[in-house]
Amino acid sequence: MADLSKLPVTVITGFLGSGKTTLIRHLMQNPGGRRLAVVVNEFGDVGVDGEILKSCAIPDCPAENILELANGCICCTVADDFIPTIQSLLALDPRPDHILIETSGLALPKPLLKAFDWPDIRSSVTVDGVIALADAEAVAAGRFAPDVARVDAQRAADDSLDHETPLSEVFEDQISCADIVLLTKPDLAGPDGVAKAREVIAAEAPRPLPVVEVTEGGVDPRVILGLGAAAEDDMDARPSHHDDAADHDHDDFESIVVDLPELDSAADLATRIEELARARNILRVKGYAAVAGKPMRLLVQAVGARVRHQFDRPWRADEPRAGRLVVIAEHDDVDGSAIRAALGALEPAE
Q: In three state form, how does the secondary structure of 155-214 look?
A: HHHCCCCCCCCHHHHHHHHHHHHCCEEEEECHHHHHHHHHHHHHHHHHHHCCCCCCEEEE
Q: Is the predicted pLDDT of residue 152 greater than 50, yes or no?
A: no
Q: Which residues contact 256 (CB under 8 A, 6 or more apart)?
A: 44, 326, 327, 334, 336, 339, 340, 349
pLDDT of residue 159: 43
Q: Please state, in angstroms and rounded to a whole number, the distance separating the CA atoms of residues 26 and 136.
A: 19
What mean pLDDT comes out for the span 24-45?
Answer: 77
Q: Give me the pLDDT at residue 12, please.
A: 92
Sheet with strand 211-214: strands edge to edge? 66-69, 36-41, 98-102, 7-14, 125-135, 180-184, 211-214
Provide the pLDDT for residue 296: 92
Q: What share of the chain is helix, strand, coil (3-state, %, to 5)?
A: 35, 25, 40
| CB 28, CB 57: distance < 8 Å | yes
pLDDT at 329: 73
**For residue 157, is pLDDT > 60?**
no
Flag whether pLDDT at 115 surpasses 60: yes
Mean pLDDT across 290-315: 85
Residue 127: is its pLDDT beyond 80? yes
Helices 336-343 and 266-280, packing angle to 10 deg: 150
Highest mean pLDDT range out of 145-154, 219-228, 231-240?
A: 219-228
At residue 13, does pLDDT exceed 70?
A: yes
Q: How far is CA 173 from CA 6, 38, 177, 205, 229, in A?
A: 26, 23, 6, 9, 18
CB atoms within 10 A of CB 220: 11
| Pair type for strands 323-330 and 253-260 | antiparallel
Task: State pTM to two decimals.
Answer: 0.66
